[in-house]
Amino acid sequence: MHSDRDDIKDADQGAKDSIAHKLAQNMKEIAITEFFEKNKHILGFDSRTKSLLMGVKEAVDNSLDACEEAEILPEIYVKVEKVNDEDFNITIEDNGPGIVRKKIPDVFGRLLYGSRFHALRQSRGQQGIGISATVMFGNISTGKPAHIKSMIEGKDSVAWKMDIVIDTKINRPIVTNEEPFTWEGKTHGTRVDYCTKGEYRKGKQSIYEYLKNTAIVNPHARITFDDPEGKRHLFERATETLPVKSKEIKPHPQGREVGDIQKMLQLTQQKTLKAFLKNDFSRITDRIAEEILQVSKVSDKKVATVTREDCVALVKAIDTVKIMAPQTDCLSPIGDVLIKKGLMTVLDQQRPEYYAQPVTRPPKSVNGNPFLVEAGIVYGGDIPADSEVSILRIANRVPLLYQPGACLITKAVESMDWRRYGLDQRGGTGKPFGPAIILVHVASTKVPFTSEGKEAIANNEEIMGEIVQALRLCARNLKSHLNKRDKKGKTHAKFEIVQGIIPDMARKTSQMLGRPVPDLSRTISKIMNVVWLETKSSFDSKKKAKSVTYNIYNYTKTERSFRMHTKLPKEAVNESLLSKYFLNMNDEGKANWEVLNVPPFASVTISFDLTGDMADTFSESDVYISGVHPTLLMGADPLPGDWGIKGMEIIETDLDVSEETEEEEEDLEDDDEEKEEAKEDDE
Amino acid sequence: MHSDRDDIKDADQGAKDSIAHKLAQNMKEIAITEFFEKNKHILGFDSRTKSLLMGVKEAVDNSLDACEEAEILPEIYVKVEKVNDEDFNITIEDNGPGIVRKKIPDVFGRLLYGSRFHALRQSRGQQGIGISATVMFGNISTGKPAHIKSMIEGKDSVAWKMDIVIDTKINRPIVTNEEPFTWEGKTHGTRVDYCTKGEYRKGKQSIYEYLKNTAIVNPHARITFDDPEGKRHLFERATETLPVKSKEIKPHPQGREVGDIQKMLQLTQQKTLKAFLKNDFSRITDRIAEEILQVSKVSDKKVATVTREDCVALVKAIDTVKIMAPQTDCLSPIGDVLIKKGLMTVLDQQRPEYYAQPVTRPPKSVNGNPFLVEAGIVYGGDIPADSEVSILRIANRVPLLYQPGACLITKAVESMDWRRYGLDQRGGTGKPFGPAIILVHVASTKVPFTSEGKEAIANNEEIMGEIVQALRLCARNLKSHLNKRDKKGKTHAKFEIVQGIIPDMARKTSQMLGRPVPDLSRTISKIMNVVWLETKSSFDSKKKAKSVTYNIYNYTKTERSFRMHTKLPKEAVNESLLSKYFLNMNDEGKANWEVLNVPPFASVTISFDLTGDMADTFSESDVYISGVHPTLLMGADPLPGDWGIKGMEIIETDLDVSEETEEEEEDLEDDDEEKEEAKEDDE
């Protein structure tokens, strides 16, 4: 370590008035606050409109994080009030656990200070910059302090309020006023009031838009927003179930650099190298620690004696030894059911025609950082059909509103050929057109944002690949819906003729000839040659109950045995499911029925109820039939190959195929192409 | 100010084991080093290839800044050496002023430390992050310290060397070794040697490319590069003239926020508010200070008694009082001559057909920060004709290699319709195609980069507007060259016939008829009806001398008086300019000649020499004629409206126009369109 260098004599250092000495006089520390004061655009505070949004965003993100950590169902209140042409008063209040009094000044008045930076787990805030930057830009633009109130639950608890400004020369809070008070009607929570210069706007990239999208991906939160025009907007929660709390993990050995290992060795509590490997990393067992030592040819020595060369060898060994991927309970995905529910709750006014089955991809990891991708697509209804598809970009449950062009999610969407999934797209790349909203959620212990403003996700090949996979699966579901819709329309006409006119003709002819009316069932079956699934459903929003009925007709000339499959929202399932044909349901909600020996021209009925908050998230049209040749199926899809429940292989029956329509052939081809496409991606 | 908060009793703060207390335990400071260790992609160190480049870039940028500050012609040596498959040794050595011994550790071993952050002037480095981040990522990836050598000029001066690693937990340097040494053959300078993980690549976004582009925009620097394959590349300097040193200015009152004024008041040496306004800002005179006080209704009080409300009123007043734009000597443009020279020196192998006259726009300011834009276009020769145009993006004389899509310069280029300037472009927006290289330089006291990695310029309307203006002017010059080239080709045929065949026919006919050969000059003039300017030039690269000769023929039927105009590289001008017809030359090098009463079929000759480094930057074909109707001109352009020298209005003569070719009409229309276009932009 070097000692205080100021007392080193300069005699050996040339003329005192040399240019080097002159330059030295100006060299000094730059406070991080000064840095961001000058480069506010990096934090997203570069325009008045954006500043207003960024402030609200940072405060709401913190509130949601705090509530989740304390396992409290969030109640968030946001108010934006116009003071004059330029200034706005902003309020954000939550029912979180509150902040310990002595920590309040640093949390709100110091940049790069926080609790989540060092923890390896999914959270919204990570940098310890957002809320203090908000306070800082409020200070700078209006000269007014921020007012903080906070209260912790407890028997004799009082609430504290304080006024905070940031000393930007040294990045430290100045508390100008501090006192205890009684917070009426409150047992715990935090409230921030600050004044800032801003410009309020509606529509895209607005505070309303941010809160709406936040509600979609945080369906457990209730958010109330009083806008500057005095209008109140309530985003009601869609579920009372809290998200699974993400767990903190130890660093994974993959992706560590030599310097990382050296630093960890300096800080470790462990005595020996082996103990260090085993206890300070995740996924290193006794056996793996030994293998790493063996491969690296470093002996199990005292931590203090490990050299740089040892570390270099260890890093190389970690690259070659097979180590399990990091745990994934540090992530908290939204889940397919809740993505759908969130979308439905918020987008209900647009009455979409179809919510494609959302996809939650299994977790992967990049450089030892676990991540996962989720995707959903909403289609039709009042969503504008003649404009670009909207993309909801979400990172760790936070909607991203700015810099779409710089964002990996946009690039992933634009890289896909959406024409094969039923959307318009000029030339097969770029933004797709049509009545759709695409949602992509990237969750990670470390989302690589392009800047501290957290406006866009930086390029990353692995994450890109997962986004494309998730979107492809989701888009395939959309395509299958669109196919079914088209097919139904066409076949309906044929069916009406066969079912209505032929018996009518038979009756009339028989009458004229004075003969008995013949049994036409075999004839009709021969003409139709389909297994027809008819879906009926009704939803009682008061009782939160959905009744679903499937009538399956065998319009073929042979006896049929088959199984029916669908994925149910588990939370909504009840005893009504245990009907005659029901077989089983797995942990994911994948349910199976079996129907044996249905004679030609006969039908069976399968029905059940779903109840509770998630009942309406069930799409009854997403139903599959196995055991019947795909070309004979009408109103249901053949079971996809990845259904993946053991013992649920397609029943082998005599497949009688005598008619294949053009559309059906196209579908099959399309599926093949997709499989090939997916295969290429995997390589 | 709040006292040490740790001794506040927690009794009033709920249960000790509450979630709030648990959260509080994890709250702590995040060192900026830790922040960037985790988010290295923000600094541009996100891939092995990029890391290698970023390190070299940061060191070279610092060397150039230091040399400029000390007014030394930079000699920079860069070496990249492969140690093994992953590791590289990097060396950057300069002949700068050196660094005072006691400052070396902080300069290289501490983030956010430097001399240029607080100074309002154009410089490459500003953040105090680049070189220390380079040292840090070298440390982390290889565990090895960086080796620094530095020497200051002076009688008994010794050089010092030290080994530095960064303690990332606290953002402070650790000097592991330090000693004086004799630096053979060196009187002053600094050398950095460090080892880093990396991947070396050639082509686009390579170290070679970065150094090449650096040489273009820093024609006063000599750069030597030893690449990992042992090959040496030398970028020789194109001029011995140092750039004008940018001067530090005080902050301009425009764009200051309430908090900025409050902070400045806290730090000022001044006693009264008026003295503060007058002395701590630029462009505030006594009279303007009084006007600001009057408009704001704040009295001239003691600095200590100025309230927040006073500051709010002052900020409002500054918005309404007319204040001169900031001084612009804080900027150091490259200048049109040196941009051309730099491009010529480096791009000579590609033998371009034409270097469009580079444009240096007058300085403007955004929020009190002065900026200016320069642009140049290189066309033809061996530049690939069938691919996208290359864009050299430069900010404060530093080439930007990554993130072109996120950069304002790219967006500006893509926003223009290049088809009207002779390049291909699908649909009139997006990247243009053709054999061209476009250079754009943005210089400012504060370039708004999208992130600390300084890879791209963030969106800004004013800067965007200036880039488009500069490019348009430059592109117009290119278009005019392309027009002239096409025209010349076409007219050449006609001229050959008229000049060659008609006299030949006349002679032969006369011979056959035994009559004297008639004087054909009036006939030829009548057919040709042009004032024809013929250019000849030769360049002696050893003597660095260029001879230029213009022959101007009056092929019209009336006597002609006109002026000739061109812009000369001032540095290359000598006495030879003072020929018979020479009138004058202004500070910018705009030279004018006047020729009176040239009879039909007569000609005059104007010639001069240019000598020195800049002699070859003169494009003799960029020559203008005034006093002759544009449609009669051949080989020269009509004088553009913005030539702008008083007394040089076009001489009024009887304009005799009897023939207008189609091409000429098109040209005129084109010009009108451009004027309209420019007008729209101004609105």
| pLDDT tens-digit readout, A582-638 | 999 988 889 999 999 999 888 999 999 999 988 989 988 889 998 888 888 888 888
Size of interface A-B (CB pairs under 8 A): 274
Q: Residue A1 above 50 pLDDT? A: no
Of the pLDDT bands very low, low, confident and very high (cuts 50, 70, 90), residue B673 is very low
Q: How far is B614 from chain A (nearest CA, A)?
A: 30
Contacts of B179 in chain A (CB under 8 A): none
Helix and strand element counts for chain A (H, E) = 16, 26
Look at A115-129, A649-663, B140-154, B592-606 and tell me which has the smallest mean pLDDT. Answer: A649-663
Does the model's ipTM exceed the 0.90 cut? no
Look-up: residue for tokens 């008609």? B502
Residue pLDDT, tens place only, A429-488:
888 999 999 999 999 999 999 888 899 999 999 999 999 999 999 999 999 889 888 877
CB contact under 8 A, A14 and B178: no
Of the pLDDT bands very low, low, confident and very high (cuts 50, 70, 90), residue B96 is very high
Question: What angle (nearest 5°) sits at the alpha carbon of residue A540, between those of residues A536 and A545?
Answer: 80
A155 vs B: CB within 8 A: yes
Q: How far out from the chain centre does Cα B467 lie?
A: 11
DSSP for B31-49 reads: -HHHHHHHTGGGGT-SSHH
Can you give the pLDDT at residue B497? 73
Host H or E run for residue B86: none
Percent of chain A with pLDDT over 70: 91
Residue pLDDT, tens place only, B515-574:
888 877 777 777 778 888 888 899 998 888 999 999 998 988 889 999 999 999 988 999
CB contact under 8 A, A156 and B12: yes
Residue pLDDT, tens place only, B436-468:
999 999 999 999 998 888 999 999 999 999 999
A24 vs B: CB within 8 A: yes
Q: Residue B507 above 90 pLDDT? A: no
Contacts of B15 in chain A (CB under 8 A): 153-155
Task: Please report, as a single letter, which amino acid is at residue B423.
Answer: L
b/e per residue, A347-386, with b = 16+ CB within 10 A? beeeebebbbbbbbbebbbbebbbbbbbbbbbbbeebeee
Can you give the pLDDT at residue B16? 65
Query: Mean pLDDT over residues B272-299, rounded?
Result: 94
Paired tokens of A6: 């100021």
Task: Please report, as a single letter, which amino acid is at residue B619.
Answer: S
CB contact under 8 A, B8 and A102: yes
Residue pLDDT, tens place only, B120-177:
888 888 888 889 999 999 999 999 999 999 999 887 678 999 999 999 989 999 999 9
Percent of chain B with pLDDT over 70: 91
Residue pLDDT, tens place only, A504-535:
888 888 888 888 888 777 777 777 788 888 88
B99 vs A: CB within 8 A: yes
b/e per residue, B400-433, with b = 16+ CB within 10 A? bbbbbebbbbbbbbeebebebbbbebeeeeebbb
- Rounded to 5 degrees, what are φ and ψ at A490? -65, -45
* C-alpha–C-alpha distance, residues A252 and A277, integer Å: 10
Contacts of B369 in chain A (CB under 8 A): none
The CB-based long-range contact list for A67-71 (8 Å cut-off, 24+ gap) reads: A67/A94, A67/A95, A67/A96, A67/A97, A67/A221, A68/A123, A68/A242, A68/A243, A68/A245, A68/A332, A69/A97, A69/A245, A69/B19, A69/B23, A70/A96, A70/A97, A70/B19, A70/B20, A70/B23, A71/A242, A71/A245
Residues 435-464 of B with CB under 8 A from A: 446, 448-452, 458
A175 vs B: CB within 8 A: yes
**Roughly what angle, to the nearest 10 degrees, separates helices A308-320 and A286-296?**
120
Residue pLDDT, tens place only, B637-654:
888 777 765 544 444 444
Can you give the pLDDT at residue A13? 58
Q: How far is A191 from chain B (nearest CA, A)?
A: 15
Look-up: residue for tokens 């309906």? A492
Q: Out of B19, B31, B97, whose CB is closest to A97?
A: B19
Can you give the pLDDT at residue A675? 46
> To probe the interface with B, which of A451, A452, A462 has the most B CB atoms within 10 Å?
A451
B20 vs A: CB within 8 A: yes
State the pTM of this model. 0.81
> To probe the interface with A, which of B25, B35, B181 has the most A CB atoms within 10 Å?
B35
Task: Please report, as a single letter, which amino acid is at residue B193.
Answer: D
* C-alpha–C-alpha distance, residues B561 and B551, integer Å: 15
* C-alpha–C-alpha distance, residues A400 and A90, integer Å: 20
